[in-house]
Amino acid sequence: MSMLTPRGLKGKQYRITGNSYPRLGRPPRRGRKVVAAVGGVLALGLVSVGGVQLYDVFTGKNKNSAAQACASAKPSGKSLAAPEGSPSAGAADSPGAVPANTAVPQPSAVTVNVYNATDKSGLAAKTADELKKRGFQVGKVGNAPSALDKKVPGTAQVLSGPGGLGAATLLVSQVASATSTQDGRTDATVDLVIGDTFSALADPTQAAATLAELTKPSPSPESSGHC
């Protein structure tokens, strides 16, 4: 009897039939199932977050919050007082630069009051003469009142009312690095208060370039996505 013949068959031939054989292998580990389950949960979470973000983009849900953030980022500051004796003396000032897209008049339609807030003698009269050469109408010329005397650290401060914003834009372009403040005057006159670092009016070519920059339309936060 062959060693391959099982006991009890007594010499009978033992034939294996069929074409499949049992294969021995390690049973599946539980750790692999856990990893697969965690991976599925994470993938489902990413898909859910992406769907929420796409919904916000297409529905514009976050536009109001972005506009509020831009509004809160705008700087604020204290403006200078208006010169004594001017139509705006004692009126409340509105801080801020001259807004863009303001209708700018011709120099012949602008009346400028020139005040000297420095210790340089004759600076107001000299500047007034130069403004006349450029076509401006000159009103009052003299020293700045005590409220502004020696208190304009920059080149110049331009004061105007709501009706003189376009004239203020034009005048700001004539002085390099000049700032502008809106007050409560009811006419369209503007005040040019000469500061410590003022030396002369800007070159006409430079003034024209500055005016173009001041009146250039600016994109809205909604279209640009930035403040």
pLDDT of the residue at 191: 97
Judge whether 213 and 143 are in contact, CB under 8 Å: no
Alpha helices in 29-188 (DSSP H): 30-59, 63-72, 123-133, 165-172
Kindly report, residue by residue over 57-108, the tens digit of the pLDDT: 556 555 555 555 555 554 444 444 444 444 444 444 444 455 544 689 999 9
Cα angle 126-201-182, degrees, rounded to a multiple of 5: 100
pLDDT band at 160 (very low <50, low <70, confident <90, very high): very high
Kindly report, residue by residue over 184-227, the tens digit of the pLDDT: 999 999 999 999 999 999 999 999 999 999 998 866 655 555 55
pLDDT of the residue at 42: 72
CATH top class, domain 111-214: alpha beta
pLDDT of the residue at 130: 97
Dist. CA 218–CA 176, nearest whole Å: 21
Percent of the chain at pLDDT above 90?
47
Type of residue at 195 = G
pLDDT of the residue at 170: 97
pLDDT band at 36 (very low <50, low <70, confident <90, very high): confident
**Domain spans in the chain, listed from the N-terminal domain onward:** 111-214
Average pLDDT over residues 129-145: 96
Burial 63-98 (b: 16+ CB within 10 A, else e): eeeeeeeeeeeeeeeebbbbbeebebeebebeeeeb
